[in-house]
Structure 1
Amino acid sequence: MACTTILVGKNASYDGSTIIARNEDSPAGQFTAKRMKVILPADQPRHYRSTISHVEIDLPDNPLRYSSVPDACASKGIWAAAGVNEADVAMTATETLTSNERVLGADPLVELTEAKGKEGEAGYVGEQSGGIGEEDMVTLVLPYIRSAREGVKRLGSLLEAYGTYEMNGIAFSDVDEIWWLETVGGHHWIARRVPDDCYVTMPNQLGIDEFDLADARGKRSEFMCSADLEAWMGEHHLDLTITARTAGEAKDSKTDAARSSEAGATGTRIFNPRDAFGSHSDADHVYNTPRAWSMHRYLAPHGGWDDPVGALGPESDDLPWCRTPERKLTIEDVKYTLSLHYQGTPFDPYGRLGSDSTRGIYRPIGINRNNFLAVLQIRPYAPAGSRALQWMAFGSNIFNALVPLFANVNELPEYLSNTEEGRVSTESLYWASRLIAALADAQFSLNTAHIERYQLAVGSKGHALVAKADREVAKLTRADAAARLATANERLAAMLRDETDRLLFNVLFTTSENMRNAYSRSDG
């Protein structure tokens, strides 16, 4: 499934929070209705069967409560997508990734094989289940982990045991760390800790561009991987590194001899997973890498991204996976970044720069088929009972607004939870957001002011209501805080609904006034 992810380390964020955020996007030609739901321990399955792959897994008997964003229609599986558990550990899954023929030949994906023939007859071959995938991962992992590292280890063990039928990237965070895991072929995986002072951009491509195998097989302080990764890479000639180099060293800063000497002396073994496991296709250069470029261009604006002769353009294969921002990043920065449509460039489909041949040539981040945006913030300074916030928006990100919700609750407001597949209703935030986007897009320039006022109102009132709730629960236990925070979430949802209804009215009026069949003379 098409998505875009941004991760913000605690020293790169405005308030010391760890922040992981992801758009979930529908495939081309369809929209997937989404809703929110809290899964209580009693409701978590003890035996799980995947709808897509039919893999069956027994689950532990001590799950934690967690929030989720499942599909409104469960006929194709749960797709829990993003959430925070009661230990204040967050997870978002998944970012679909690209790979290459060498990797998929060396470790084929584990796909469902249907039964052939009839049972009991000669030549019958029974069904072979597939591995785990995006449909399953949050349900299988988030209820059982108490740190981001534990998330990597649990998901890694499941991948090694059951395999996967697709390439994916998965983020985990707690109050101290963010980890990013990428699947490699059917059973292999790598994971890297996000540097505390950096942000990470991920646009549907395998992204990690530097990996220390010595750390991954030793201390595991910054890197982890499947147990046999190095041997498997060697057997199938997957490492494309020309010479060894030390961690963090620029590719061209030393001679080959110096790099090899230092790598041997320090015991490091650095390689580029993007070269080994990823892709650099023509499709990437219009669908994936331009999104990373646009994120970097906003978050580190003086990085030379617009230099016509530079090596960091929208189709570059060498855009950094992580980078230190030029200033600390806010929730609003994350929202704006995950709504980008190449503003200020010749590629903006709504812009006046460029030409018909450039506007819309690259796939935007803020696209018509955004399903939702979840921004998972773990705040180190907040009261223990209200540390985790799950900021949410539905529909196309250009036209929606983020609302904060407290994760330490047993239920979530109906306005964000009552989505029904195929039944459009303004009683549901998901469908109201879809309606607003379709109407506003038709008269984009005239509706922009309405959208901006809406986003400012929801964001500012959301921050104020969060601060009020923090004060209310400051001296309460986690258990006692849950009920108070559920009330705070209802206040937030009521505010959001008022602002959304107002926006829908304004956008409907503006677009209706400018329909092509408009005529200035009134009756009489």
Structure 2
Amino acid sequence: MPCTTILVGKNASYDGSTIIARNEDSPSGQFNAKRMRVVHPQDQPRHYRSVLSHVEIDLPDNPQRYTSVPDADGKEGIWASAGINESNVAMSATETLTSNERVLGADPLVELEAARGVEGEEGYVPERPGGIGEEDLVTLVLPYVRSAREGVRRLGALLEEFGTYEMNGIAFSDVDEVWWLETVGGHHWIARRVPDDCYVTMPNQLGIDDFDLDDALDSQRDFMCSADLAEWMDANHLDLTLDLDLWDDEGDEAAEAPRIFNPRDAFGSHSDADHVYNTPRAWSMHRFLAPHEGWEGPAAAWGPESDDIPWCLIPERKVTIEDVKYVLSLHYQGTEFDPYGHKGTEASRGAYRPIGINRNCQLAVLQISPNLPESCRAIQWMAFGCNAFNALVPLFANVDETPEYLSNTNAHHVSTESFYWANRLVAALADAHFNDCAAHVERYQLAVGSKGHALVAKACREAGQLPYEKATATLQEANAQISDMLREETDGLLSNVLYSASMGMRNAFSRSDG
């Protein structure tokens, strides 16, 4: 699944929040309609069976309530995508990652193998289920964890037991920490805590570029991994770190140093396809958040095709929710690569895959704020459809249901009664008339964001003194008010964009009747 992720540590964000955010993009040639819902403990399965891989897993009997953003039709499973549970733990799953032949040969992916022959006859081979994947992960993990670290450990144990059929990156956060887990082959995994003063960019490519194996296998202060990672790497010669410090200046053998390696070199890829599809997205995000690090010109430290673009950096100013939305909507504005721009050539304007594209399904920005009471500190900001033309709206996670405008998506019926389909219509109209519609979109984004912040602040004043469970009704009413505002603003945008696009139709004539 092509996606883009940004993670923000608490000291890098504008208000001390932890923030994890991801675009979910559909595969080429299709759209995956999305909706938002709340899953209650009584609705959580106790025995889970994956639609795609047929793996079956018994689940604990103590799930928590959690929010999710599943597929509207469910034909390929739940695909819960992103959510926040009652313990104010957030999870986003998943960012599809690249790998290489050495890794996949050393620990093959666990793929579904169909039955062969006829049951009861000689030579019959029963079906072999596959592992777990993006369809399953939020459902299997988020209801059962009470911290980001616990999320990493639960998912890691599931990967070791059941394996996976795809390479993925998964984010976890709580009020203090952000963790990023990457699957490595069929059963192995690594995870790193995002430094509190940094942000992370992830564009469909295995990203962690610095890993302390000693810490991961001992104190686990900032790193975690599967228990046999070191032995497996050694047995398969996966560590590509040069042994430059084996000897000291006197020619004697040096003391043993901490084992630090680059997972991107060991487990990832540096392909030609990466240079078109993946690395340019990381470059564009860093170019906005750390503009003076050197991203353009002959002396630039990193270009859009550089293989060593940093996984994390300290931003040049604190990162806001609006910054997160902007970078996850980027289409190379201000460069020769912008498909809506006038710089460069027709070839350069289509050279690299943008972040904000027609196949964006949903964007979930999961914010856990330390400045708000526990009852209302978890906010799930949502957008549907193409991020170049939509707006991000805040919704409280401590609720029993989500507004109908965001939950009523019908995968087979287009309607302006649905926030998902309204955004799809806006984007389809505005894309072909970008310059005529850009001002409408900008005013819409400003209005939704401004009114959203104001309604969140009002609700927190009202619910902030209430215990967690007693604040739910107040926050649910606030979400309803936010949804009403959102629908009014979205209907207004659709009206303005429809008018501008209609005036730009080719089948027009300047002389009026009369």
TM category (shorter chain) comes to over 0.9
Residue 264 of structure 1, CA deviation: 4.1
Q: Deviations over 1:437-457 (max 9, x none)?
A: 000011000100000000000
**Does the Cα contact within 8 Å between 1:190 and 1:226 map onto a contact in 2?**
yes
CA distance in structure 1 between the partners assigned to 2:374 and 2:153 by the alignment: 25
* Deviation of the 1:257 alpha carbon: 4.5
- Give the structure 2 partner of residue 322 of structure 1: 312
* Distance of aligned partners of 1:127 and 1:364 in 2 relative to their CA distance in 1, 3 Å threshold: same
Partner residue, 1:427: 417
Which residue among 446, 449, 471 is the counterpart of 2:439?
A: 449
Give the match for residue 134 of structure 2: 134
> Who is 2:467 aligned against?
477
The structural deviation recorded for 1:522 is 1.5
Which residue identity lines up with residue 325 of structure 2 in the other structure? K
Letter of the 1:54 counterpart: H
1:483-514 Cα offsets, whole Å, 9 max, x none, are 11000000000000000000000000000011
CA displacement at 1:476 relative to structure 2 = 0.5
Secondary structure of the residue that 2:291 maps to in structure 1? coil
Helix, strand or coil for the counterpart of 1:377? strand
SS in 1 for 2:288: helix
1:410 to 378, 381, 400: 400
Q: Which residue is equivalent to 2:27?
A: 27
Cα 1:263–1:456 change in 2 (3 A) is: farther
Judge conservation of contact 2:170–2:182 (CA < 8 Å) in 1: yes
Per-residue CA deviations over 1:400-429 (Å, capped at 9, x if unaligned) read 000000000010000000000120000000
The Cα of 1:523 is off from its aligned counterpart by 1.9
Give the distance between the partners of 2:261 and 2:505, measured in 1 at CA: 57
1:243, distance to aligned residue in structure 2 (A): 2.5
8 Å CA contact 1:169, 1:180 repeated in 2 = yes
| d(CA) in 2 for partners of 1:41, 1:47 | 13
| Total equivalences in the alignment | 513
Instruction: Name the counterpart of 1:354.
Output: 344
Partner secondary structure for residue 13 of structure 1? coil
Counterpart secondary structure, 2:292: coil
SS at match of 1:35: coil
What residue number does 2:14 align with?
Answer: 14
Query: Equivalent of 1:294, from 249, 267, 284?
Result: 284
What is the aligned partner in structure 2 of residue 219 from structure 1? 219
Moved over 2 A (4+): 255-258, 260-265, 307-311
Tell me the amino acid that sits aligned with residue 45 of structure 1.
P
User: What CA distance in whole angstroms lies between the structure 2 residues aligned with 1:268 and 1:175?
Assistant: 30
The 5 Å alignment of 1:199-278 reads: 199-243=199-243, 257=248, 264=255, 267-278=257-268
After TM superposition, give the deviation of residue 309 of structure 1 in Å. Answer: 3.9
**Structure 2 CA distance for partners of 1:292 and 1:270, relative to 1, 3 Å:** same
Distance 1:241 1:68 in 2: 40
* 1:333 and 2:323 correspond: yes
**Counterpart Cα distance in 2 of 1:179 and 1:190:** 10
The structural deviation recorded for 1:201 is: 0.1
The alpha carbon displacement at 1:521 in A equals 1.2
Residues 151-179 of structure 1: CA distance to partner in whole angstroms, max 9, x if unpaired?
Answer: 00000000000000000000000000000
Query: How high is the TM-score relative to the length of structure 2?
Result: 0.98
**What's the CA shift for 1:261?**
9.9
Alignment partner, residue 56 of structure 2: 56
Amino acid aligned to 2:225? C
1:96 match: 96
Contact 2:293-2:301 at 8 Å conserved across structures: no
Alpha-carbon distance change, 261 to 307 in structure 1, aligned in 2, over 3 angstroms: farther
Amino acid at match of 2:139: T
The question of whether the paired residues in 2 share the 8 Å contact of 1:243 and 1:256 is answered with no
The separation in 2 between residues aligned to 1:226 and 1:124, in whole angstroms, is: 35
**Displacement after TM superposition at 1:360 (Å):** 1.5
What whole-Å deviation, never above 9, does each CA across 1:308-357 have from its counterpart, x for those lacking one? 24340000000000000000000000000000000000000000100011
What secondary structure does 1:76 align onto?
coil
Q: Among residues 486, 498, 507, which one is paired with 1:496 in the alignment?
A: 486
Matched, 1:187 2:187: yes
Contact 1:244 1:271 (C-alpha < 8 Å) held by counterparts:
no
Q: TM-score w.r.t. structure 1 length?
A: 0.96
State the superposition RMSD in angstroms. 1.4
What is residue 250 of structure 1 aligned with on the other side? none
Quick check: 1:49–1:56 contact (8 Å CA) kept in 2? yes
Deviations 1:258-312 (A, max 9, x none): 8x999946x5210000000000000000000000000000000101100324340
Amino acid across the alignment from 1:378: I
Supply the distance in 2 between the matched residues of 1:360 and 1:504 (Cα, whole angstroms). 27
One-letter amino acid of the structure 1 residue matched with residue 7 of structure 2:
L
**Gap runs ≥5 in structure 2:** none
